[in-house]
Amino acid sequence: MQFPQIRMQSKPALIGMKTTEGKQTIEQPRAEQTIRQPEAKMTTNSTAGKLNIDQTQAWNDMNLKNARESIEEFARRGREELLAGIARRAHQGDQMMKIENSGNPIISQAVENMGGGMLEWNIGWIPSVGSVKINYQPGDINIQWQINKPIIEATPKKAHSEYERGSLETFLRQRNSLTIDFVT
């Protein structure tokens, strides 16, 4: 025996969605900045060093004296030689007055007046050691600085932001349905 059959066929409802994404743009302009650096200031005060060189003694040692010193020296030497000559002649005169005493004053005076032995001679143009006097006073320098800090000015800029909203659209992609059949 055959029984009637019921056949049911169903379809579910389907929802569809359509989305549009949102957009956001951000723009950040550069900040404005200025930097100024004032010049540093420097002042200096200095005193010059002094160098004194006295070579008078070296010139004198080389017999290159100035006229005044040469005249004074020759006058002094002349006077000394004159006095020595007077003393020698007085002494020799006394010896001749006493010729009757023992000895032979004429021969001894001749040898004495002859000048004696060899004369000493040396190079005359080399000055003695230490004859040039050097005196140095160092100078002084004073340096002063004034440093100026840089001047920095900055102006920040605000960011520009734009936003476009997204959207969501829903729709019925498939309707639900129920089909019932009877089969005998």
Six-digit token pair at 148?
A: 């100026």
Six-digit token pair at 127?
A: 């000055």
Closest CA to 179 of 9, 4, 5, 6: 9
Q: Are the C-beta atoms of 177 and 10 separated by less than 8 Å?
A: yes
Q: Are the C-beta atoms of 58 and 134 separated by less than 8 Å?
A: no
Helix crossing, 105-113 with 67-97: angle to 10°? 170
Q: 69 by DSSP, 3-state: which?
A: helix
Cα→Cα distances 102→90, 106, 111, 160, Å:
19, 12, 18, 142
Phi/psi for 103 (5° steps) reads 105, 175
Stretch (H or E) spanning 81: helix 67-97
How many Å apart are CA 89 and CA 97, to the nearest integer?
12
How many Å apart are CA 146 and CA 161, to the nearest integer?
47
Splitting the chain (184 residues) into consecutive groups of 10 residues, what average pLDDT does each group show?
A: 84 92 92 93 93 88 82 93 93 86 81 74 75 92 92 92 92 91 82
> What pTM, to 2 d.p., does this model score?
0.37
